[in-house]
Every structure is written in structure tokens, then in C-alpha cells.
């Protein structure tokens, strides 16, 4: 579902959304062509769940505008499901996170 063109567009959208909402997407990569790994940085006042909500909600709407045909390929017409996994840098190193995310685009 997440072709190279769509993946690149999503990465651009994530950068624009982050800049608009006051946080930073340090890196983003597609994992196995069906999910995305994002390394984000934000002021402590910005909650991680807010970051996820903004990235999923805004990117989903804009992606359907640019690629309306993909909505038909999705289960119930939804791009994102409601789940997500979150890990903080405090529990593992920033370098370990970056290396893991960088390796995602080599799979699939």
C-alpha cells in the first residue's frame, strides 16, 4: 500500500505537520511497506499522543486528497488504525533508535 511515491509524500507531510504543530520529525521510514517508524522530538509540554494524533489525522486527510484511489484498497477506508507504539529516548539511546529506523526501509 505504501508505495515509494506515497512514502515520500508522507515523509514530506510529516515534516510540514511537525513544523506547523511545534515539534520535529527527526526521521521517518517505512517498515515492510505497511507501517511507519518515526523519531520525533518535542518540547515536554507537547504530549507524544498529540504528536501521533496530528501526524495520523492530518496526513490521512491530505493523502486521500492527493491519492483518492487508495481509499478503496483500505479496510473500512481508513489509512491508520488507532494503535501505536511509543518508546522514549531515556530507555534506549538516540543512536539505537536512529539505527533501527534507518534499517526499516531496507526491509520488504
- Annotated active-site positions, please? 100
Question: From the CA atom positions of the chain, what is the Rg in Å?
Answer: 14
Q: Quick check: 27 and 102 in contact, CB under 8 A?
A: yes
Residue reference for cell 511545534: 22
Reading the block at residue 79, the C-alpha cell is: 489509512
Amino acid at each position: 500500500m505504501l508505495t515509494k511515491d506515497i512514502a515520500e509524500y508522507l515523509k514530506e507531510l510529516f515534516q510540514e505537520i511537525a513544523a506547523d504543530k511545534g515539534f520535529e520529525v527527526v526521521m521517518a521510514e517505512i517498515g515492510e511497506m505497511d507501517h511507519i517508524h518515526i523519531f520525533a522530538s518535542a518540547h515536554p509540554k507537547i504530549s507524544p499522543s498529540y504528536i501521533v494524533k496530528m501526524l495520523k489525522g492530518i496526513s490521512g486527510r491530505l493523502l486521500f486528497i492527493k491519492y483518492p484511489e487508495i481509499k478503496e484498497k483500505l479496510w473500512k477506508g481508513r489509512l491508520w488504525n488507532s494503535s501505536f507504539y511509543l518508546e522514549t529516548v531515556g530507555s534506549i539511546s538516540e543512536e539505537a533508535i536512529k539505527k533501527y529506523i534507518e534499517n526499516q526501509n531496507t526491509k520488504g
